[in-house]
Amino acid sequence: MQQDYRVDPYTVEGSVNYEDLVKKFGIAQIDAKLKDRIKKDAGDLHFMIRRGIFFAQRDMNWLLDEYEKGNKFYVYTGIAPSGGMTIAHLLPFVMAQWLQEKFDADVLIEIPGEEKFLSGKDPKLTLEKVQELAYADALNIAALGFKPAKTKMFLTTEYAGVLYKQAVRVSKYITFSIIKDAFGFDSDANIGRIFYTSMQAVPAFLKSVQMGKNIPCIIPLGVDQDVHFRVARNAIDKLGYYKPAIMHSTFLPSLKGGAKMSSSDPDNTIYIDDPKEVVAKKVNKAITGQQSTAELQKKLGGDPAKCSVCQYNRYLFEPDDSKLAAIFDGERKGTLLAGEHKKDLADKMNNFLDQHRKKKEGLKDRMDSFMLRD
């Protein structure tokens, strides 16, 4: 099979074929039957699951078996700071917050200071700078509505007193060969990068260590992160803990189209801290699936799949399915014109970001209740 795309934690390129990815990664679709089961247990189904934005999984049926037996799970996810947080980064956290609410789940959030520092892509990214970014990210995450009593966040560099010992136990079961194959590193990779996946693995079984009994865990993540846990799940299993369940999201496209919104392409990326006018300006330049003129658009209609404005509504900003259908329909039939379409999205975004800023304001002096430190 010809591969015209690439998905790993350090590179997402080309037109991602998610069906192909499911086979390649050995993961399973979140199919209709599983959706029904989640809906039954949660009393609801998040639109990101309904719409296939979270499209794949590992061991979610086992997780729900346990849940239905009264064995509650916790949720683990994270973010590696490298620049400002974008709306694309929100996906796993929105899902984690929903899981917390619907399943009364504890949440652990790891903010690895070292990952992007060690990748060396940005030579100016010092550990001190990463730390600053990490605290900004933590506030952005908390403002999504996590419960302080059930949500703990930590920087790996500040919680290594707990994490490192467990990472050592994981690392004993992971060879350089495994890392080389999984991440495509060669012998010139630095030894910090090579070790790092062990640190990312720890929160997936840390509650079990701390409670002295096995506790199920689920990790919502972007599918590019799956490889970390393909490697770690084996090691965690050998240590005698439950392998974490995983749910995988597709990538929020770039405003100009393309596989993934990237914080390294600021013009086509919405940062959570972008001011109103900047959001409006960026959205105004976004790619739509529409024809080149209003005339043609009215006549021929557009393609929602190619329209980043439609997709942003689908991914994040229009939770109501019937309203989303109307937008897609308008795009398809040519009744919704580009200007109007973009203004509607920019307004929704700015409304969300405004609310978010207010929530941050209320939380910024109370972050200590979320943070774990050695």
Nearer to a copy of itself, 188 or 368 (CB): 188
Nearer to a copy of itself, 241 or 271 (CB): 241
Give yes or no for residue 239 binding a copy of itself (CB under 8 A): no
Q: How many CB atoms lie within 10 A of CB 339?
A: 10
Total residues contacting a copy of itself by CB under 8 A comes to 42
- Near a copy of itself by CB under 8 A: residue from 82, 198, 254, 311: 198
Report helix, strand or coil for 238.
helix
Residue 348's Cβ-count burial label (10 Å; 0-12, 13-18, 19+) is: middle
Residue whose pair of structure tokens reads 């929704």 in the numeric block:
348
Minimal distance in Å, beta carbon 199 to a copy of itself? 8
Give yes or no for residue 240 binding a copy of itself (CB under 8 A): no
Using left for φ > 0, alpha for ψ between -120 and 50, and beta otherwise, residue 59 falls in left
Q: How far is CA 310 from CA 15, 132, 266, 371, in A?
A: 18, 34, 20, 36
Side-chain half-sphere CA neighbours of 166 within 13 A: 23
Nearer to a copy of itself, 95 or 118 (CB): 118
d(CA 78, CA 261): 18
Give yes or no for residue 325 binding a copy of itself (CB under 8 A): no
- Near a copy of itself by CB under 8 A: residue from 17, 171, 214, 262: 171
- The answer to whether the beta carbons of residues 234 and 271 sit under 8 Å apart is no
d(CA 194, CA 192): 5
Nearer to a copy of itself, 186 or 365 (CB): 186
Contact residues for 333 (Cβ-Cβ < 8 A; gap 6+): 301
β partners of residue 12: 7
Minimal distance in Å, beta carbon 183 to a copy of itself? 11
Give yes or no for residue 230 binding a copy of itself (CB under 8 A): no
Minimal distance in Å, beta carbon 174 to a copy of itself? 5
Give yes or no for residue 167 binding a copy of itself (CB under 8 A): yes
Piece of the chain touching a copy of itself by CB under 8 A; list 4-12, 52-60, 185-193, 334-342: 185-193
Give yes or no for residue 114 binding a copy of itself (CB under 8 A): yes
Interface of this chain with a copy of itself, residues 141 to 160, rule: CB under 8 A: 156-160
- The answer to whether the beta carbons of residues 342 and 286 sit under 8 Å apart is yes
Interface of this chain with a copy of itself, residues 290 to 319, rule: CB under 8 A: none
Tokens of 143: 């403002």
Interface of this chain with a copy of itself, residues 122 to 141, rule: CB under 8 A: 127
- Near a copy of itself by CB under 8 A: residue from 13, 19, 44, 176: 176
- Near a copy of itself by CB under 8 A: residue from 35, 50, 180, 360: 180
Residue whose pair of structure tokens reads 């100016």 in the numeric block:
124
Query: Which amino acid is residue 343, in one-letter code?
Result: K
Give yes or no for residue 372 binding a copy of itself (CB under 8 A): no
Nearer to a copy of itself, 3 or 175 (CB): 175
Minimal distance in Å, beta carbon 373 to a copy of itself? 8
Written as one string, the DSSP assignment of 256-320 is TSSS---TT-GGG--BTT--HHHHHHHHHT---S--SSHHHHHHH---GGG-HHHHHIIIII---
- Near a copy of itself by CB under 8 A: residue from 197, 200, 208, 269: 197
Give yes or no for residue 165 binding a copy of itself (CB under 8 A): yes
Residue ranges in contact with a copy of itself by CB under 8 A: 113-114, 117-118, 120, 127, 156-165, 167-169, 171-177, 179-180, 185, 187-195, 197-198, 373-374
